[in-house]
């Protein structure tokens, strides 16, 4: 696959170059903004850079500041070509099917996009050599249903979705290449993190958008799945800062990134509708057709290691996240 560069950007010889795989998504776009503010030359990839809209980059006002390249992680030659030409100091991998719900409908695509894609990236970096540092996007979904305990880096994985299985496979690939070949690769095991850049298919954005529409008189009823599930919700801008910090350490390690607080989906809905002055019980119903074949009833993470070694801790919790998302939606 040929590379498609949207805009030639000058590169200072002392300037770090970061390659962000999957730059068009929430995390990729927010990280690009952070790295640009730190003086990086940022190269972002998409399967087809000519066809992608990169609306998140435009929304953040950085569309013309990121060098855009076509790359498919499932195509080894494509990855080799891009990494060899861009010669990044750091690689951040967000590419792959990112919806837990959709992974039940597309399990093969989900597994291949994460497991095969990550393996191609690791093998290319091993083959080319050099001092490239790699961030692998892990997921708190890998832990499964941990109940009232807070999962940390030593908690065993028990994935309960094709998405989590795929992420777990990619995680262990990263561990293997770090230990077998000495690659600087670390995984951020991130729990749920939200922002206005979330796609509408994610339940948090679905709730926020519906609450705002209903407050504006849409008259609709919001249908959701299991309202009793509990999740650990944080603010995505803070989480991408943790990713960058991981690649600045002397040694590569894996880190759990989370708030340590678990709230039910009902809590999230209640707060969102309260912000717009409504009683959620008058506008929301539970629909059994939206239930997943297997579900995590409760999870939350313990980011003590990140606090101790990275100097990172969250400042925004669920209610703060909801407030900021609704403010952005109403604008």
Q: Which residues contact 196 (CB under 8 A, 6 or more apart)?
A: 324, 325, 328, 329
8 Å CB contact between 63 and 40: no
Whole-number pLDDT of residue 13: 59
Query: The domain 203-231+262-298+317-330 belongs to what CATH superfamily?
Result: UDP-galactose 4-epimerase, domain 1 (3.90.25.10)
Q: How many other C-beta atoms lie within 10 A of the C-beta of residue 7?
A: 10
Q: What is the 3-state secondary structure (H, E, C) of 128-177?
A: HCCCCEEEEEEEHHHHCCCCCCCECCCCCCCCCCHHHHHHHHHHHHHHHH
The verdict on domain 17-194+233-257 having CATH code 3.40.50.720 is yes
Whole-number pLDDT of residue 3: 42
Provide the residue ranges of all domains of the chain, joining segments of one domain with +: 17-194+233-257, 203-231+262-298+317-330
DSSP H stretches of helix in the chain: 26-37, 55-59, 76-86, 100-103, 107-111, 117-128, 162-181, 203-215, 236-246, 265-275, 304-310, 318-330
| pTM for this entry | 0.92
Whole-number pLDDT of residue 217: 93
Give the residue numbers annotated as catalytic, written as ranges: 139, 141, 163
Q: Which residues contact 172 (CB under 8 A, 6 or more apart)?
A: none
For residue 195, which of 227, 233, 139 has the smallest C-alpha distance?
Answer: 233
Tell me the helices (H) and strands (E) count for the chain, helix number first: 12, 13
Q: What's 185's DSSP letter?
A: E
Biggest alpha carbon–alpha carbon distance for the chain: 60
* Three-class SS state of 257: strand
Give the pairing type, strands 17-21 and 41-46.
parallel
Dig out the tokens for 237 from the structure: 């801008």
- Edge-to-edge order in the sheet of strand 17-21: 67-70, 41-46, 17-21, 90-93, 133-139, 184-190, 255-257
For residue 110, which of 101, 119, 120 has the smallest C-alpha distance?
Answer: 101
* pLDDT tens for the chain, residues 1 to 331: 344 444 444 456 579 999 999 999 999 999 999 999 999 999 999 988 877 889 999 999 999 999 999 999 999 999 999 999 999 999 999 998 888 888 889 999 999 999 999 999 999 999 999 899 999 999 999 999 998 899 999 999 999 999 999 999 999 999 999 999 999 999 999 999 999 999 988 999 999 999 999 999 999 999 999 999 999 999 999 999 999 999 999 999 999 999 999 999 999 999 999 999 999 999 999 988 888 888 899 999 999 999 999 999 999 999 999 999 999 999 8
Q: How many other C-beta atoms lie within 10 A of the C-beta of residue 82?
A: 23
Between CA 329 and CA 331 the distance in angstroms is 5
Whole-number pLDDT of residue 50: 79
């Amino acid at each position: 696959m040929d590379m498609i560069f949207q805009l030639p950007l000058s590169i200072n010889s002392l300037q770090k170059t970061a390659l962000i795989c999957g730059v068009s998504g929430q995390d990729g776009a927010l990280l690009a903004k952070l790295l640009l503010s730190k003086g990086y030359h940022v190269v972002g990839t998409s399967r087809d850079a000519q066809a992608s809209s990169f609306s998140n980059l435009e929304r953040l006002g950085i569309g013309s500041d990121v060098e855009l390249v076509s790359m498919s992680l499932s195509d080894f030659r494509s990855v080799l070509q891009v990494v060899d030409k861009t010669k990044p100091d750091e690689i951040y991998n967000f590419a792959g099917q990112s919806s837990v719900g959709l992974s039940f409908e597309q399990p093969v695509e989900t597994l291949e996009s994460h497991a095969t894609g990550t393996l191609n990236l690791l093998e290319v970096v091993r083959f080319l050599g050099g001092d490239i540092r790699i961030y692998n996007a892990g997921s708190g979904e890998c832990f499964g249903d941990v109940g009232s305990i807070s999962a940390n880096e030593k908690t065993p994985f028990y994935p309960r979705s094709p998405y989590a299985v795929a992420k777990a496979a990619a995680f262990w690939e990263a561990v293997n290449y770090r230990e077998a070949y000495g690659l600087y690769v670390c995984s951020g095991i991130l729990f749920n993190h939200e922002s206005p850049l979330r796609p509408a298919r994610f339940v948090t954005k679905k709730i926020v958008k519906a609450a705002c529409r209903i407050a504006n008189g849409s008259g609709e009823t919001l249908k959701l799945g299991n309202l009793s599930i509990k999740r650990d919700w944080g603010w995505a801008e803070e989480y991408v800062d943790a990713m960058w910090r991981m690649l600045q350490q002397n040694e590569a390690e894996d880190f759990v990134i989370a708030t340590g607080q678990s709230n039910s989906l009902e809590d999230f809905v209640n707060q969102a509708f309260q912000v717009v002055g409504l009683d959620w019980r008058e506008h929301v119903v539970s629909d059994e057709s939206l239930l997943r074949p297997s579900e995590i009833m409760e999870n939350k993470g313990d980011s003590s290691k990140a606090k101790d070694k990275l100097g990172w801790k969250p400042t925004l919790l669920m209610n703060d996240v909801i407030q900021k998302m609704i403010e952005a939606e109403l604008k």
